[in-house]
Structure 1
Amino acid sequence: MSDSIIYLVRHCEATGQEASCSLTDSGKLQAEELKQFFSDKRVDQIMASPFERAIQSIVPTAEMHHLDLLISDDLRERTLSSENLSDFKNCLKETYKDFDLTYSGGESSREALERAMKVISDVKLSSHKATILVSHGNLISLILNHFDQTFGFEEWERLTNPDVYEINLNRREIKRLWKGQKEL
């Protein structure tokens, strides 16, 4: 049985956090860099969050590989709260300690991870051997934590825009691939 690989991609630099925010000019250049990064890699399927910045980050790669871009609502960013949290970072940090902690109108880490893992389970069961999933920092960090419990809040803080991790689903191994990364 050959290995099933997921390339977990954090979107490129964007103009903001709302679902409709586009890439910055720098983010558009980063999307082209992602295209070059994936030019020599096998890619059978590409799925992205419905947020504009995620879609724009991977369209050049999808076009290069002549693949349809599949949109999955389950890859959207996690909603920490529907209210404006004055101490966002500390509130987020607490959700890495307590996966069931929820704030008003938000999802717990466990709820967000469960919807993301539905996508990953579907990928693993499919005939695709190499899939790109494009999402957002918080959700990506929760997915990585599922495969490596040492990946937490501090590692989330070190994610870059963009960022690329490879997950070997058969061996349950993760490795960071993006060459523009910060040191872990």
Structure 2
Amino acid sequence: MKQIYVVRHCQAEGQAADAPLTAVGQEQAQDLAAFLADRPIDYIVCSPYVRACDTIAPLAMQLGIEVQLDERLTERVLSEQNCPDWMDMLRATYDDLELCFEGGESSRMAMQRVVQVVQEMLERPGEHAVLVSHGNLISLLLKYFDDGFGFEQWRALSNPDVYLLSFSDYQQPSMTRLWLK
């Protein structure tokens, strides 16, 4: 059985690619490392955004695992415009996966790139892996495997958050939320 721990980054100072973790986020990263340290993790694949890398760095250091960065795990861009009604726009993209705003990426497009990463992870050697990314992209990955996962479930995600996807013979995975703090 293949298991992928899907990790949302810890609390960050903003949404920019170079936004670091807050002081609280740094403490959360240590807690996350302690939470995952006793699990048999073979490799880690991570968004190159600073907040994602800093989230998983303590665990990687503790386990002696080099983090593999993957551009496909960057956060989904809703629009290139600064939209005051972005929350309503985002909600609409869970109902219409093809909806795409100017300069942005549809839910389907973002979903396809993160699912491709997971499919490649399933083909790799090793039974246990960690995928580190961002809330909207993770919610779309979880929606791919469970169509009931939508806008409200995205809103309920925490920073950090951890879901375990367990794949038996590459079938539909079981999905368990592990981080309940």
TM-score range, shorter chain: over 0.9
Matches of residues 35-184 of structure 1 in structure 2 within 5 Å? 35-170=33-168, 171-180=172-181
Name the CA distance, whole Å, in 2 between partners of 1:47 and 1:125.
14
| AA matched with 1:31 | A
Deviation at 1:15, TM superposition (A): 0.3
Cα deviation code 1:27-69 (max 9, x no counterpart): 0000000110011111001011010000000000001111000
| AA matched with 2:81 | E
> Mind listing any 5+ residue stretches in structure 1 that lack a counterpart?
none
TM norm structure 1: 0.95
Name the CA distance, whole Å, in 2 between partners of 1:114 and 1:137.
16
Percent identity between the two aligned chains: 42
Name the CA distance, whole Å, in 2 between partners of 1:155 and 1:179.
14
Between 1:167-176 and 1:55-64, the stretch displaced more is 167-176
Cα deviation code 1:134-155 (max 9, x no counterpart): 0000000000011111110000
Between 1:167-176 and 1:128-137, the stretch displaced more is 167-176
Between 1:116-125 and 1:169-178, the stretch displaced more is 169-178
Cα deviation code 1:10-33 (max 9, x no counterpart): 000000000000000000000000
Name the CA distance, whole Å, in 2 between partners of 1:37 and 1:179.
11
Deviation at 1:169, TM superposition (A): 2.3
> Mind listing any 5+ residue stretches in structure 2 that lack a counterpart?
none
Name the CA distance, whole Å, in 1 between partners of 2:173 and 2:34.
26
Tell me which stretches of 4 or more aligned residues in structure 1 moved more than 2 Å.
none
- Once superposed, what is the RMSD of the aligned Cα atoms? 0.7
Deviation at 1:179, TM superposition (A): 2.8
| AA matched with 1:126 | R
Cα deviation code 1:56-96 (max 9, x no counterpart): 00000001111000000000000000001120111000000
Secondary structure (helix, strand or coil) at the match of 2:17 reads coil
